[in-house]
Structure 1
């Protein structure tokens, strides 16, 4: 029997050697192929291992590894046990038919030599390997067992992970990466240094991760939540606990925009142009909460910055004279790290500056990308709602003035505030665009100074220029009252009529079509012959006049310059002009007139219908004069005085 086994080994050895020579691409496979990838359950050779199942047939089983596909192939064949060995002691495989039957075909050979038969078997093996690469993976995984002559395909341990991924070529000398192979590195010009790497994309687990992190803040039975009656929700809660108060002139101005204070568990997004003062505003709000003037005692607040180091933030706080002991600074961009580090502090509020710099490691994409911004905001929202800790975010804006990132970002947060301001002006306006806990008609007015943002004590006169003239009359100057949110502002409108000029008309801060209409109505309905004159209109302080309440002030300034009759100081104009020259009512007339009265104006020109509605209100010593049309305004202002 030993002679038969030696013949079988010799036959397979020489056949495998010829197989390697005919397939030079597989020369990297060592000759240990036989000892490593042919196996049997007993001491006999796998190719010659008979297993009897009690019948007259024996089953031969062998398993081989295909290096190109990385799979194991297991095959079995059956023959009668009486033909297993012949009388001369030669192997059955040398004299009997070599028969292999599988899924993709059947190969038979008869009366062949040992080497030819073995070579035929390797050829069939290669054909199966080529076909198996196109077989459905699910169909392959279902073939767990074999019977008779069926082939079984299986994945070998250590096979490459299946999934989508990108291939990158990275230079091992300088680290340059490229999407394709060039032979030489395009950065350092070294050849043979490009190595192939595969980037396998991972599943986006941002929601799962954020839930896991936030869950560590909650008690163990937090998942057992049941519906609660409305009266039980507010029972035992003081009304003052609904808001975190912000004290002082600055705090009152911010609280006005937020609807009365900062709501616990809310997510507030503050946007604005670079350099407008978002970080300054957030640092001042954090200092107010940390000092705890409205709460009676200091409270911990964590200020997280992904753009500045703690030394830079401390330098800015020192310049602004901020010295709150419970204000903690942290510089980081990893959301997981941020939530883990602030957990031991149990802060009253958290500030993140900015949302475009933080990221989640489990989310694909770089910081500031659409997916990162959306998932980070969602994670912070769940953190705020489940821990009742308010979170304030700073957000950059695009060239069009909108918050950078996906539009859904503004739908996720509870409040969106925009900090606006011109580069040539020190004034800043904090305007709410969305507020789930208050009105969006409020407006905060600040002035940027060396100590940070300061609340403007009298915003109504911030757009009024200083009248340094010796006379109390200024020709071509009229005061209009406009509304921005719930705030009333007084602005100055200047007009200049020139009889000879190369430019027929020029306006600044007023809609050109609106100015043309007012000039045409003055010429047609008031009888002023101003068609031959060049008219220049300007709004002081660079403000844009967009509402129709300033029509009467524009017409009064043009009449003053054309008639060369100055309008007395202390007179304001409120009203809309129709095409027939009539004066029309505008909204919030009582609010506008009340603001004029607080600033000490003597007279206010309004439409006739508004005079009747304002007669019941007390405006002090200010006189309200009602006019029906433009002719009445001219007779009242330019002839009575």
Structure 2
């Protein structure tokens, strides 16, 4: 005999008035023996006797999304998350229409919007696919009945937090409801060989709502990232049982929905390429793809009232403070009384240490009023001893830079690709790098 909290699923051997995990009062129900009919009834089999899955995968019709997913195997369950307003429903409706046109019936279930509202969005996106079925429903049993009736190839549930798995399972959206709904839909997808997309909300910490109790049930976990004020969207793969998690899709929001960026490598770099003091171009990695970003710096005299300002957009402010200390120590440049403003142009967030040297070059360029030549890129991690350290996939980044028409790079020492049409200045210290860029 045991008792379980209907809100969070916490179990106790005895009844409690207040749940120690979620703090709710009078939320414990008695739990009897496990329900079910004895499992699937399938006996254990030797590994050699188990039939292999079909290698055929469903293509979504969006090459950038297929780049991340690697195609969809029948029965795959995909958890799809993102901040409110980032475009989850828009992208999924586009994918549903393309999948319906290519692979047969698709059922799109919305628990947050009426069917007429979903159709309004479809008209705005130019979608009129007859094989795409819409349903506005929150009851899990009603969704299952619709699946049995329509027999779709793909099911989209938007969102998991709106599905009512059972009436006595607590409030809709509670952990118990979300977990049971996800488990039931995952079993349904595996049994029917139906690709299923489950939309999940994102918590304040940037994680899937329902913590890992939902994420471990699915085969693929995707997260759509972006800034509401900007039109850039990045689709990342956080988990993939059937492929790589090292890819990222670069998309752009426009009046007709989310479209692919034609040249993501140069999307974040200004097209005029005019020399600008306080700007440095850095090749960063997003998944396995090299993107060029422009790091901009503005160094201004402090007001003298209170501590100097340290503001960043798209960069880690703590890492910036460390780099400012290294600059003062090993270059003799005093910026402690100056206001420092740093930003990554285009709204992209850069967290990898390969951008360290670019940040230092942008700061020195703004302080000296000197511009780095527009055909030069900067690459390298800056250590606390003022040394320039190698970065992950440095040769591959330099090859991509050469393909994009740049002529010179300042990078850490290391192995270089053969016959690289690019002049590479290998700097061992921060001092050597700044001298190569003529910023000292």
- Could you say whether these structures have the same fold, taking a TM-score greater than 0.5 normalized by the shorter chain as the test? yes
* Aligned position for 2:71: 261
More helix by share: 1
Distance in 2, matches of 1:392 and 1:597, equals: 39
Identify if the C-alpha distance between structure 1 residues 308 and 626 changes in structure 2 by more than 3 Å, giving closer, same or farther: same
* Aligned position for 2:310: 506
Distance in 2, matches of 1:517 and 1:634, equals: 17
Distance in 2, matches of 1:626 and 1:348, equals: 54
Distance in 1, matches of 2:32 and 2:232, equals: 44
Describe the SS at the equivalent of 2:160.
Answer: coil
Identify if the C-alpha distance between structure 1 residues 321 and 534 changes in structure 2 by more than 3 Å, giving closer, same or farther: closer
* Aligned position for 2:194: 389
Given that 2:302 and 2:309 are in contact with CA atoms closer than 8 Å, whether structure 1 keeps it comes out as no
Report which of the two structures shows the higher radius of gyration computed on alpha carbons.
1
The correspondence for 1:367, drawn from 161, 168, 172, is 172
* CA shift for structure 1 position 406: 4.9
* Aligned position for 2:284: 482
Given that 2:380 and 2:388 are in contact with CA atoms closer than 8 Å, whether structure 1 keeps it comes out as yes
Identify if the C-alpha distance between structure 1 residues 207 and 266 changes in structure 2 by more than 3 Å, giving closer, same or farther: farther
Identify if the C-alpha distance between structure 1 residues 344 and 543 changes in structure 2 by more than 3 Å, giving closer, same or farther: closer
Identify if the C-alpha distance between structure 1 residues 604 and 205 changes in structure 2 by more than 3 Å, giving closer, same or farther: farther
Structure number with the bigger relative contact order (C-alpha 8 A, sep ≥ 6) is: 2
Given that 2:85 and 2:228 are in contact with CA atoms closer than 8 Å, whether structure 1 keeps it comes out as no
Given that 1:205 and 1:363 are in contact with CA atoms closer than 8 Å, whether structure 2 keeps it comes out as no
Unmatched runs of 5 consecutive residues or more in structure 2:
1-14, 16-28
Distance in 1, matches of 2:137 and 2:121, equals: 18
* Aligned position for 1:624: 424
Following superposition of structure 1 onto structure 2, how do residues 543-558 of structure 1 map, counting pairs within 5 Å? 543-558=348-363
The TM-score, its normalising length taken from structure 2, stands at 0.84
Deviations 1:243-268 (A, max 9, x none): 21223xxx22112222x111211111
User: Does 1:607 find its partner at 2:417?
Assistant: no
Given that 1:304 and 1:353 are in contact with CA atoms closer than 8 Å, whether structure 2 keeps it comes out as yes
* Aligned position for 2:3: none
Deviations 1:445-480 (A, max 9, x none): 111111111111222223223447xxx322121112
Describe the SS at the equivalent of 2:230.
Answer: coil
* Aligned position for 1:457: 262
* Aligned position for 1:152: none
Given that 1:206 and 1:375 are in contact with CA atoms closer than 8 Å, whether structure 2 keeps it comes out as no
Aligned length: 412
* CA shift for structure 1 position 364: 2.5
User: Does 1:246 find its partner at 2:60?
Assistant: yes
Describe the SS at the equivalent of 2:320.
Answer: helix
Describe the SS at the equivalent of 1:445.
Answer: strand
* CA shift for structure 1 position 596: 1.8
Distance in 2, matches of 1:374 and 1:204, equals: 19
Distance in 1, matches of 2:175 and 2:337, equals: 57
Describe the SS at the equivalent of 2:215.
Answer: helix
The correspondence for 2:239, drawn from 414, 425, 434, is 434
Identify if the C-alpha distance between structure 1 residues 399 and 512 changes in structure 2 by more than 3 Å, giving closer, same or farther: closer
Deviations 1:34-73 (A, max 9, x none): xxxxxxxxxxxxxxxxxxxxxxxxxxxxxxxxxxxxxxxx
* Aligned position for 2:87: 277
| Aligned-residue CA RMSD (Å) | 3.0
The correspondence for 1:328, drawn from 121, 130, 133, is 133
* CA shift for structure 1 position 505: 4.7
The correspondence for 1:634, drawn from 420, 434, 440, is 434
* Aligned position for 1:173: none
Moved over 6 A (4+): 201-206
Given that 2:410 and 2:436 are in contact with CA atoms closer than 8 Å, whether structure 1 keeps it comes out as no
The correspondence for 1:598, drawn from 400, 403, 426, is 403
Identify if the C-alpha distance between structure 1 residues 315 and 622 changes in structure 2 by more than 3 Å, giving closer, same or farther: same
Distance in 1, matches of 2:321 and 2:334, equals: 14
Given that 1:206 and 1:362 are in contact with CA atoms closer than 8 Å, whether structure 2 keeps it comes out as no
* Aligned position for 2:11: none
Distance in 2, matches of 1:497 and 1:354, equals: 46
Identify if the C-alpha distance between structure 1 residues 512 and 364 changes in structure 2 by more than 3 Å, giving closer, same or farther: closer
* CA shift for structure 1 position 286: 1.2
* Aligned position for 1:18: none
Distance in 2, matches of 1:367 and 1:533, equals: 52
Describe the SS at the equivalent of 1:333.
Answer: coil
* Aligned position for 1:566: 371
* CA shift for structure 1 position 230: 3.3
* Aligned position for 1:344: 149
